[in-house]
């Protein structure tokens, strides 16, 4: 076992890894159509959500961002649909959490867009697939399955860990571990 010199807490914390943390909401209707927002600063569709602020947890981030970007309130009880671990385009580790958002009726819902977005639309994961990056399309499909009664997955780069090939290490697997395919 490697020993580590004891450091003052502030110095130890300063040396810890920095991770971008983001949270979003899966606003949906009874037909499992998902609300995405079109960015006003580019041609992209995204969930209501964003980066977490100091002092809040990721659920609070989803609640705040959803309200700021749509005027919609989140459900009272947090329900996690997916966690995705990856690298931000700038190379910084990033964790993305997707929470079950409000169930809405697309024909009557009143959406109050922030200046970050210029439009919103409700479509199925299949309908969104050609309009969004492939990683986002995978998460939309996975989260829809969770909404229909599946289990909350931990993803890596928008893919199930069980679907990710890993080199064999010769170490014994823990009970219930999934073999790489």
Average pLDDT over the chain, rounded to an integer: 84
Q: Flag whether pLDDT at 4 surpasses 80.
A: no
In the structure, what pLDDT confidence band is assigned to residue 19 with cuts at 50, 70 and 90?
A: confident
pLDDT for the residue 161: 55
**Residue 20 burial (C-beta neighbours within 10 Å; 0-12, 13-18, 19+):** middle
pLDDT for the residue 160: 65
In the structure, what pLDDT confidence band is assigned to residue 7 with cuts at 50, 70 and 90?
A: confident
In the structure, what pLDDT confidence band is assigned to residue 90 with cuts at 50, 70 and 90?
A: confident
Q: Flag whether pLDDT at 37 surpasses 80.
A: yes
Buried b (16+ CB within 10 A) or exposed e, 101-128: bbebebeebebebeebbeebebbbbeeb
pLDDT for the residue 85: 87
The larger pLDDT score, comparing residue 129 to residue 168, is at: 129
Helix (H, G, I), strand (E, B) or coil at 28: strand
Dist. CA 138–CA 86, nearest whole Å: 14
Task: Name the least confident of 17-21, 96-100, 164-168.
Answer: 164-168
How far CA 1 is from CA of 4, 18, 111, 171, 178, in Å, comes to 10, 25, 56, 18, 28
Report the predicted TM-score, pTM, of the whole model to 2 decimal places. Answer: 0.79
């Amino acid at each position: 076992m490697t020993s580590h010199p004891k450091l003052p807490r502030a110095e130890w914390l300063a040396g810890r890894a920095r991770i971008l943390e983001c949270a979003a909401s899966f606003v949906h209707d009874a037909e499992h159509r998902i609300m995405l927002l079109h960015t006003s600063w580019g041609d992209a569709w995204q969930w209501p959500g964003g980066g977490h602020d100091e002092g809040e947890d990721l659920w609070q981030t989803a609640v705040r961002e959803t309200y700021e970007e749509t005027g919609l309130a989140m459900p009272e009880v947090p329900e996690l649909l997916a966690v995705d671990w990856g690298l931000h385009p700038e190379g910084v580790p990033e964790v993305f959490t997707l929470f079950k958002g409000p169930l809405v009726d697309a024909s009557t819902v009143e959406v109050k867009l922030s200046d970050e977005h210029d439009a919103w639309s409700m479509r199925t994961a299949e309908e969104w697939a050609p309009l969004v990056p492939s990683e986002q399309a995978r998460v939309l499909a996975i989260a829809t399955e969770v909404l229909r009664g599946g289990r909350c997955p931990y993803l890596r780069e928008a893919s199930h860990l069980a679907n990710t090939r890993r080199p064999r290490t010769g170490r014994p697997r823990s009970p219930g571990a999934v073999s790489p395919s």
